[in-house]
A and B are shown apart, each in its own frame.
Chain A
Amino acid sequence: MTQNHANFNEGLTIAPLTNVALCLGGMERALHRSEHLPGLVVLSGPSGYGKSTAAIYAANKYRAYRVEAKDSWNRKAFLENVLKEMGIPPASTIYAMLDQVCGQLDASGRPLIVDETDNIVARGYIETVRDIHDGCRTSILMIGEEKLPLKLKRWERVHGRILDFVLAQPADISDAQHLRKLYCTQVAIADDLLEHIQRASKGSARRICVNLERMQEEAVSRGMSEFTLPDARGLELFTGEPPKRRD
C-alpha cells in the first residue's frame, strides 16, 4: 500500500488532479498562444465535478482576477465587480469601465476567470466578455455548466474567439490516491476504503477530501494508524453537497 507519512506540503500540490491539470493546461495554452490566436477558454461540466475548485490552482499560479457572475447581474454590475477585484474604483459609464478593465489586464498581464458564465449568457451580455478579450491581450477562462459550449454557439462572435474547450471529468481513483497523499498524513487509509470513498463521492474531488478527513479523524480517535473498509463499517460518508447557506 502506498502511503505518504511525510509532511504533506513537501512540494505536493493539487496540480496533478485531473481537472486541475486540464484547467491549468487550457489556461497556459491561452497565455502562451501566438499572436493571431484568440484567448478565450471554456471549462464546462456538470455541477459537482469541482470546476471552480479545479480553477483555483490556475487562479493562484497566475494571480488571476476572478469573478463569480450572479444571477441578478447586468453588464454594469459585471464590470463593477471585475473592477472591485482589481481594486479600482469604477468609472461612471460602461465604456469607461471597459477601458479600465482592459487597461489593468493589459498592464498586469494577469488573466481573468469568469465563473458561473451561464448567468452572463442568460442575461445576454456575454458580448461584454468578448469586448474585454478584444480590448487587451489577456486570457479569459469562462467556467460554466455542461451546456455552456452549446449555448455559446448562438453567439458567433464569442464562439469564434474560443481557443479551447475543456471538459471537466469526474474524480477517478488516481485523483483519490493523490488526495490521500495530500490529506492523510497521520493515518494510512487502505486501498479498499479509498475505492469505496471514491465511488460514494460521485465524481466530486471535494467530497473525497471531506470523507478522507472524516476517516482520518475517526482512525486517530480510535488510536489506529491504518484504516480499512471493515474498520469504516457503519460510518456515514458524505455524498451530497456541502451545506449551502446564504449570507
Chain B
Amino acid sequence: MGLKPIDKRSPLGTREAIWAAIRRLRVFTATDLWGETNCSKDTIREYLTGLRAAGIVEYYHDTEKGATVHRLARDGGVEAPRVRRDGSEVTSGRGRENMWRTMRVLKEFSARDLAVQASTDDVQIAELEAKSYIHYLHKAGYLAITVESKPGSATTPGRVARYRFVASRYTGPKPPQVQRVKQVYDPNQRKVVWKGGSDDAE
C-alpha cells in the first residue's frame, strides 16, 4: 500500500490530519476519523494500530453496532506522533531536524561544522549527509554561499565551502525534505520549493 509522495497528498490526507482529528475529538471511532479527513480507511487503521501499540491511544468501549471506540490516552501536543505498526518511534527524520535547528543557530558554517554540531549521542550525522542536505537547501535558496569551495593546488591551499542561513527563508520548525525525485518539499509551507533540473550535478 504505497503512499503518494507528500507533495501529491492533500493536507487532509496525511497522518497530521488524522492526529489533529484525534486531538479534536478525544473519543472517536475509525469511521469518525475517516469522516474528518481524506485518508483511506487502511491508512487510518494502520496509524491507529501504531498509536495503540505505543499507548498513545487506547481502547475505550464498543458501540452497540460493534465498532471500537478509542480515546486519546497520551497527548504529546500538535506534532503527530511518528510510530510504526508495533508502536516503536520512527526516528529517521531526526538528523535532518537537528541540522535544520542547528544551522539557524550557527548562521555561518561548513558541512563539517553542521555534522559535528548537530550530532548527539543518539543521532549521529555523517559529514556526507550534511553535505548532501546543504547541497539541496542551497539549491532551494535556504542557504547562501559565503566562501566558495576551491580545490587545492601545489601553490595555493584549497578551501572548504561555507554557507550562511538565509534568515528570511525560515519557514517553520519542520525540516525541508529532499524527495526521491530530487526536489525539495517544504512541509511548513506544504509546497515544493525546488525542482531538480539538468544543472543538478549530484
Contacts and interface: CB of A to CB of B under 8 A. Distances in A.
A7 B106 CA distance: 23
B157 interface: yes
Contacts of B36: none
Given A88-B78, A217-B157, A221-B153, A243 B146 contact: yes
Of listed B105, B110, B121, B156, residue having the most chain A CB within 10 A = B105
A56 interface: yes
Interface in A166-210: 182-183, 209
A15 interface: yes
Contact of A217 (B78, B118, B152): B152
A217 B158 contact: yes
B167 interface: yes
Contacts of A107: 75-78
Interface string B93-118: 00001100110011110101101111
Interface string A69-112: 00000000000000011111000000000000001100111100
A213 interface: yes
B78 A183 contact: no
Contacts of A183: 112, 116
B164 A11 contact: no
A65 to B, nearest CB: 8
Given A86-B78, A87-B173, A213 B105 contact: no
Nearest to A209: B113
Contacts of A13: 116, 119-121, 124
A183 B116 CA distance: 8
B188 interface: yes
Nearest to B129: A9
Interface in A1-16: 7-9, 11-15
Interface string B142-171: 000010000011101111100010111100
Given A56-B105, A87-B174, A221-B153, A213 B118 contact: no
A59 interface: yes
B105 A66 contact: yes
Most chain B CB neighbours (cut-off 10 Å) among A11, A56, A183, A243: A56
Given A87-B173, A108-B79, A247-B167, A61 B120 contact: yes
A63 interface: yes
Given A8-B112, A182-B116, A217-B158, 19 more contacts: A8-B115, A9-B126, A12-B119, A56-B102, A61-B121, A84-B172, A87-B78, A107-B78, A108-B79, A115-B105, A213-B113, A217-B160, A218-B157, A220-B157, A220-B158, A221-B152, A221-B154, A243-B146, A245-B164
15 contacts: A14-B117, A56-B101, A59-B101, A60-B102, A60-B118, A60-B123, A63-B97, A66-B105, A86-B78, A87-B174, A108-B76, A217-B152, A243-B146, A247-B166, A247-B168
